[in-house]
Amino acid sequence: MHTAVTAVFALLFCTISSAQAQDTDSSAMAGDSVVVHRHVFLDGKRDAWHATLAGNGSGRYFCAWTERTTDGASIRGCFLARAQRSGFHVIEASIPPAGAEDERPAVVFLDDSTVLLAWQRRENGRHFLRARVVSRFASLGPEQSVSDDDAGTMTPAAGRTANGAVLLAWQDYRNGNADIYARRFDRDSRPEGRSVLLNDDGGTAMQGSPQIAAGNGEGPLVFWPDNREDGAWKFYYQRVGVPQAHNVLIDSAQRKAMTTLISGVLLSGDSALFTWKDYREGHSNIYRRLADLRTGLLSPAERVNDDRGERWQRLAVAGADGHGRTVICWEDYRHTEINQRGDIYAQVYDASGLAYGMNLRINDREDRIARKMPKVFMDDDGWYLVLWHQGEEGRFHLAGQWLRYPDIREGANFCLTCDPSNEE
């Protein structure tokens, strides 16, 4: 049963990734100061995909991604200093066994120079999670298992606990269907106790890929898509480490689609911001809600994108500076005709929760190429980094833009994965 269910979801995720990867065009990549033509790797099937982004809150960042080649897929990563736009040192963070593929990384800082990196390995028809410590000086700790059960495990998420330890969460099939489990790890990445079941539906409903709110040191908050009750996809959150806490309904995606994901950040120990792709207007828009974590009450759902057309917006992500200021980023297709080859947009909010200005286009080129799956992290000083997958010249790279709150750009768009000489 475990293998069969896992195989179904593996096929679903592979189908989605293949469809997105085919959405490419031929154009130039923005360099450090001018638009330049970049060398195309001889391996035309090599792509950077499924990026994740974390920060230490004070100017140090780490990005990890799946690097797919004709030989398979592995995890690569890179430490970045605030405002860095060139000279990246890419670390080969995983070397999967022959016939296996590593993908979908999650990452969290342990201290200013090391991160705990987790990822999903696919081998012999099943999925399971691996993790290791990666240092800024390119040293790698030993690989270790994440779960304490041999059932299929997928799509990890990572976050910090209030005492500086780590929480990892994932989809788990030990009960015959997709549940959400989590496990604590200490500051040295050693597991603390057994895995814990987080969803409390008690039935056979499916729980989608979990996320953990980044909150600059506050306690962890885990949330996920969930089709309990009527089979339609909704979103729930669970506070971890709070006695007698239970799953809280955030909202409904208004559509039966497991690929409808949710993002969120802690604003304080008692409040959070959630954002997601929503279909209540008949087509996909980006919505947000603020949550009082003490009472479980949420503010009314509010639309984030300010266009009034029927083009898609999707895959929202959020960042916060620990002082109430937030930013939401997403894929945006308002300037396209067929909801493909779009842009990356953002909306900034002040500490009172009010929108600052209008939606901001992050990419500084207007040509129609594939720009997908943004990631964002905002540090304590209001600096934030936006990364996204940019498809051109037959492959996907990771492009980025540095900004300072509220919307001050630091330089032009840059490419993180364009230069093969940066790799180990």
pLDDT digits (tens, 9 = 90+) for 304-316: 999 999 999 999 9
Q: Which long-range contacts (CB under 8 A, 24 or more apart) does 221-225 make?
A: 221/159, 221/264, 221/266, 221/272, 221/293, 222/157, 222/159, 222/167, 222/169, 222/180, 222/182, 222/198, 223/250, 223/262, 223/264, 223/274, 224/180, 224/199, 224/262, 225/253, 225/258, 225/260, 225/261, 225/262
The token pair that represents 168 in the structure block? 């990892």
Which amino acid, 106? A
Q: Residue 108 in contact with residue 64, Cβ under 8 Å?
A: no
Over 60: is that where the pLDDT of 145 sits?
Answer: yes
Q: Can you tell me which residue has the tokens 């900004």? A: 403
> What DSSP line would sit under 273-307, residue for residue?
EEEEEE-TTSS-EEEEEEEETTT--BPPPEE----
pTM: 0.88
**Among 347, 349, 368, CA closest to 358:** 347
Structure confidence at residue 214 as a pLDDT band (50, 70, 90): low
> Averaged over 240-268, what is the pLDDT?
86
Over 80: is that where the pLDDT of 320 sits?
Answer: yes
**Among 419, 414, 368, 259, CA closest to 23:** 368
Q: Residue 115 in contact with residue 108, Cβ under 8 Å?
A: yes
Task: Look at residue 33 in the predicted model and tell me its pLDDT.
Answer: 29
> Averaged over 336-352, what is the pLDDT?
95
With b for 16 or more beta-carbon neighbours within 10 A and e for fewer, the 195-210 pattern comes to beebbeeeeebbbbbb
Task: Look at residue 365 in the predicted model and tell me its pLDDT.
Answer: 95
Over 70: is that where the pLDDT of 14 sits?
Answer: no
| CA distance to 3, 5, 69, 131, per residue, from 124 (Å) | 10, 14, 19, 19
CB atoms under 10 Å from CB of 52, counted, come to 25
Rounded Cα distance between 142 and 34, Å, is: 41
**Among 342, 293, 288, 296, CA closest to 319:** 288
Residue 231 or residue 227, greater confidence: 227
Q: Which of the residue ranges 4-13, 45-54, 236-245, 412-421 would you say has the lowest mean pLDDT?
A: 4-13
Task: Look at residue 246 in the predicted model and tell me its pLDDT.
Answer: 94
> Averaged over 15-35, what is the pLDDT?
32
Rounded Cα distance between 266 and 222, Å, is: 11
Phi, psi of 94 (to 5 degrees): -145, 145
Residue 296 or residue 21, greater confidence: 296
Over 70: is that where the pLDDT of 384 sits?
Answer: yes
Rounded Cα distance between 99 and 134, Å, is: 24
**For the chain, what is the mean pLDDT?**
87
What are the structural domains of the chain? 2-422 (2.120.10.30)
Q: Residue 131 in contact with residue 155, Cβ under 8 Å?
A: no
